[in-house]
Amino acid sequence: MAVRARRSKSPGGQHFLRSSALAAELVRAAGIGPGDLVLDLGAGTGVLTRALVRAGARVVAVELDPVLAGRLRSRFSRVVEDDVLRVPLPREPFHVVANLPFACGTAILRRLLDPEVPLMTADVIVEWGLAEKRTAVWPSTRLSVEWSASFELTLVRRMPRSCFAPPPAVDAALMRAVRREEPLVPPERAHEYHRFVEVGFRGGLRTVVPPRQLKRLATELGFARDARPRDLDAGQWAGLFRAAAMSRSAGV
């Protein structure tokens, strides 16, 4: 069954930005300019949509709630009434500036940060815990290591509950993803890399690299010989992947 991205009817599920001035500040900080194609996913009351339009962007506001979508249509030219987990994504380079539904923030990011999706930047409001976990250098997580091969992830700012109406149950954060000019792993090998990382996180580093080679790579890449998967950052994981691939191609 597909996960629905509709905001909850409970107060904690609806977290609309209260301030148009704050929305304008977020758009400026995102570096959005005239002509940029930008998706506002879960557009809600349109506070961010309006700021994006005023910046000269080509904005597509996506909102599942039919009442909210209807109100958006009365104000903006490009409104799509659809689930953010199902709506077709652009085939041309695009940006995202959005206050994501908290209940499915990770699921939305999985879609956006697929290396085959032509996303250039994403400035998204998510739960504080999600942003803190996925942008941490240590301990790393499987998803953060996978995503960071193609995108630089940063926690930009904390956004307290008072920024939203009604306030959610937890604080939020602005998380930024910027596509790397030089990915750590070639895009055509991204899915192979994701499988490599998945196996390594599940079974340990020795399940993906032989012990003798792992000992050498620990020195070369700068991690402890007894390191756990979460102790390696994205660059070190990419280094392991390249070394393992070279060994396979050489028949070692």
Residue 1 included in any domain = no
* Residue % of the chain over a pLDDT of 90: 88
pLDDT in tens, 20-46: 999 999 999 999 999 999 999 999 999
User: Domain boundary at 179, 196, 217, which?
Assistant: 179
Identity of residue 87 = V
Same domain, 171 and 203: no
What pTM did the predictor assign?
A: 0.91
Query: d(Cα 191, Cα 61) in Å, to the nearest integer?
Result: 30
Instruction: With respect to residue 10, please indicate whether it lies within any of the assigned structural domains.
Output: no
Give the pLDDT score at 100.
95
Residue 189 has pLDDT above 50, yes or no: yes
The answer on 195 and 89 residing in a single domain is no
Based on the fold, state whether residues 126 and 236 are members of the same structural domain.
Answer: no
Q: Number of folded domains in the chain?
A: 2
Task: State whether 80 and 119 are in the same domain.
Answer: yes
Same domain, 170 and 238: no
Residue 162 sits in the same domain as residue 194: no
The confidence band for 2, taking pLDDT boundaries of 50, 70 and 90, is: very low
- Of 145, 179, 213, the residue at which a domain comes to its end is 179
Q: What percent of the chain has pLDDT over 70?
A: 92
Three-state SS annotation for the chain: CCCCCCCCCCCCCCCEECCHHHHHHHHHHCCCCCCCEEEEECCCCCHHHHHHHHCCCEEEEECCCHHHHHHHHCCCCCEECCCCCCCCCCCCCEEEEEECCHHHHHHHHHHHCCCCCCEEEEEEEEEHHHHHHHHCCCCCCHHHHHHCCCEEEEEEEEECHHHEECCCCCCEEEEEEEECCCCCCCHHHHHHHHHHHHHHHHHCHHHCCCHHHHHHHHHHHCCCCCCCHHHCCHHHHHHHHHHHHHHHHHCC
- pLDDT interval class at 229 (50, 70, 90): very high
Q: Looking at the structure, tell me whether residues 72 and 171 fall in a common domain.
A: yes
Domain co-membership, 30 together with 138:
yes
Confidence of residue 209 (pLDDT cuts 50, 70, 90): very high
pLDDT score of 14: 60
Q: 121-167 pLDDT, tens per residue? A: 999 999 999 999 999 989 999 999 999 999 999 999 999 999 999 89
The answer to the question of residue 5 being in a domain is no
Instruction: Tell me if 2 is assigned to some domain.
Output: no
Task: Give the pLDDT of residue 28.
Answer: 97
Q: What is residue 166's predicted lDDT score, i.e. its pLDDT? A: 87
Between 236 and 10, whose confidence is greater?
236
Range of the structural domain that residue 96 is part of: 16-179
Q: Which of 69, 55, 70 is nearest to 23 (CA)?
A: 55
